[in-house]
Structure 1
């Protein structure tokens, strides 16, 4: 699939992509060794190594040593390396960690990262008040992943996702639950809980964090959010509290969507690709419902799927940024990577990614791009400590589900704990 000739790509597209060999070190400059670490699947490991090999072929004198890890404990291990002065030159990083690393002086300001092939808002995702410390690799938005095959089995029509409300969602989910087999549900979770609370706040004209990193969610907001989730799970006939609690120990393919236990689940849009492979079904992305039933009120946003960052301690800042430019902006890397790390941030690389794309890849691409083109906001980088919010929200939702805390007490202590995490 990735080997298809790029002769179908116009000359204008090729010229618009960053020339990958510009400004590189040569053998005469002496050998440069860069360490690069990332997480992901076995397929990502193979894809990344192919890009490294291509970069090295075009830039003799620069060697990139890959340090591949799985996702478990990735950032914990990176923190240990940073503390010990042994951080890789280049590393993959998620947005909840970027500002934290930047604020503690662990990252190099990316003054030579080429953003000319990106929408301004997408390029600016890696900015803090002090400068650009993240190179946006990809973008993504949240969505409801639906399995039309399960809707058909249940004799339930897919909703019109431009007009449906939360009441519609609950009614459809309950109908699916009644008509599907034992152990199957219309919906099993509301999705990633940090994303869920942010979506709920944004549907009410608010947000989770402000531009300067302060927590905008009040105790009253938290109470209303927890009540909303509990009411929705009851009306939509979600599974038991113990079922939901156990989901954190199940992988994506073994989760409710991948195992065909649920007809709908909230996820990041590009995760429909591995979910399609897991189910063997053709999945569909739905916009989230809202209170009003107007699609413009559903609170969607664009975020970075991931960033690349450079250690402030690197001995080769120019070559490190040269590699990042190649990886994100070059046609060669785009042909190899396609949508492995999400919808490419470089708009020209997106066209290459769509060559010979699967139905699932096209669905994810068109969905995320539709959110982007609708002018939906991007969100500010989470403040230091923001990476703890998902765990905190998940834990207090669990406390309420099991009856171990009242909504009022959970809301107060949840907000207090988040504020403490933010320092």
Structure 2
């Protein structure tokens, strides 16, 4: 999750409180399909476009499974998690749940989710399949994937006269020096890059240094000295003017995507999730380029890149129809018809066969993203652990203290000490 697009954290407390109030037990033994008609409840959030597309997915599934009816429960993001928390607390959870990484660990850890043993993940890259695991058990299946990338405006880069290094071999130091050169060449009218202080960028940095943002047992995966080094890099970019002043970074973090620096021609580059290419290209009026993030040693194969699950499919541990619920999840994951209906709405398909089958039907921006996703599949590091309860508050603290460094109000060492204290106390 990037700081600029951080989702509201308020529902987490409600979800946690409701789930903590329950002691739920999963279904034991292999699930058996029902002999008669079955009705499944399925909840999801999203835009009106997603709502209509999901109804088509349901219709396609019901056409192939006439004994199963799917009852949709659609809502927007703002109220989705409070409603789900209430449903779980009252033992009335939907059979199938569109899930987010920020909540997966909490719901799975309290027994609210079904272990998905019967969904075929053979066409997933292993780290992608493992991203839905909590304590070694598959409680979620990725609906689609994104990757952290550097997006570049080729017109602004060309106007600066600065050449971008090969993205397979560039380093963090080269990102800094290249961006600083672009800023200088423009006389400060264009910054080489926007902020590079998101938790996703930090996670890449940590992974490339043999650490991680979180561990599989729900702890922080780095030490104070590791965080201080990351903040020292922030200070380096601040001093070189590779990035804008802290006040501009702060404003950009809360601006709508069409008003952010890359969209308005104020930044030549910036780090984003790959699925944002279409919106950014449209807003900027430029055919933006996707580039790999930098690495420590200048070798993309060692960059510990990872696919981020745009969202997940999960099922309730209390469902009366575990076999049918998993059949639906398997359908939306692995069925070619489902792939043609969903395209890239929930991320680039995680199933490699479906991805290849639908690429010709994607928009130009989504097709470019899908091509990039395929290109880096051999460069992936291990799966990113599911964030623990309180993880969102922990990463918010890391980002907030990075801004203290950019404002030059705290040294990297002082910021690291304070941020680590807050992050540790945030994790339940």
Tell me the TM-score range normalised by the shorter chain. 0.7 to 0.9
**CA separation of 1:53 and 1:261: change in aligned 2, threshold 3 A:** farther
Which residue of structure 2 aligns with residue 306 of structure 1?
A: 311
- 2: distance between equivalents of 1:226 and 1:304? 27
Q: Does the aligned pair in 2 maintain the 1:302–1:377 contact within 8 Å? A: no
Q: How far apart are 1:187 and its partner, in Å?
A: 0.8
Q: Which runs of 5+ in 1 are unaligned?
A: 1-22
> Within 5 Å, which residues of 2 pair with 1:21-420?
29-30=36-37, 32-39=39-46, 41-72=47-78, 74-129=80-135, 131-180=137-186, 184-190=190-196, 193-420=198-425
Q: State the SS of the aligned residue for 1:209.
A: coil
- 2: distance between equivalents of 1:421 and 1:152? 44
TM-score (norm 1): 0.85
Q: State the SS of the aligned residue for 1:373.
A: helix
- 2: distance between equivalents of 1:172 and 1:80? 50
**CA separation of 1:248 and 1:79: change in aligned 2, threshold 3 A:** farther
- 2: distance between equivalents of 1:73 and 1:245? 27
Per-residue CA distance 1:172-198 (angstroms, 9 max, x = gap): 22232244487532211115x211221
Per-residue CA distance 1:375-408 (angstroms, 9 max, x = gap): 5332222233223333121221223333444433
- 1: distance between equivalents of 2:235 and 2:82? 33
Provide runs of 4+ in structure 1 moved above 6 Å.
Answer: none
- 1: distance between equivalents of 2:351 and 2:308? 14
Q: Does the aligned pair in 2 maintain the 1:194–1:389 contact within 8 Å? A: no
Number of matched pairs: 397
Q: State the SS of the aligned residue for 1:185.
A: coil
Q: State the SS of the aligned residue for 1:167.
A: helix
Q: Does the aligned pair in 2 maintain the 1:38–1:92 contact within 8 Å? A: yes
Per-residue CA distance 1:198-217 (angstroms, 9 max, x = gap): 11112222222233232221
Q: How far apart are 1:329 and its partner, in Å?
A: 1.0
Q: Does the aligned pair in 1 maintain the 2:139–2:314 contact within 8 Å? A: yes
**CA separation of 1:256 and 1:89: change in aligned 2, threshold 3 A:** farther
- RMSD, aligned CA: 2.6
Q: State the SS of the aligned residue for 1:34.
A: strand
- 1: distance between equivalents of 2:188 and 2:69? 55
